[in-house]
Amino acid sequence: MFNKNNINGYKSSLTGVKQKTLVYGEKTLMTEFLLEAGSQLPLHQHPHEQTGYLVKGRLHMVIGENEFIAEPGDSWCIGSNEYHGAEALDNSVAVEIFSPVREEYLP
């Protein structure tokens, strides 16, 4: 599968958060998140392992019992069923990969 960059296809998942699935395969799915400064991703968990990379902005992240300030170029991996959440400190762009595929994120 190949995805050409375009501005279409974003969905609003939470206030101030837009997401778009970029590509997916049999075992992984890649999603781009656009987060407005001040937007919140409440603490949650899911069975998917989640690996991310911050392209732009700053995020205050909570992963398990740890807290981080993520800046451009930083990356993370969140284990299956591990509690996590974030707050966008600036307008931010993050790319995350989920395994297995998150069915609810399929276009």
Q: How far is CA 59 from the centre of its chain?
A: 11
pLDDT at 107: 86
How open is the CA angle 64-92-66, to the nearest 5 degrees?
15
For the chain, what are the domain ranges? 13-95
Phi, psi of 95 (to 5 degrees): -120, 130
Model confidence at 99, in pLDDT bands (50, 70, 90)?
very high
Model confidence at 66, in pLDDT bands (50, 70, 90)?
very high
pLDDT at 61: 98
The superfamily (CATH) of domain 13-95 is Jelly Rolls (2.60.120.10)
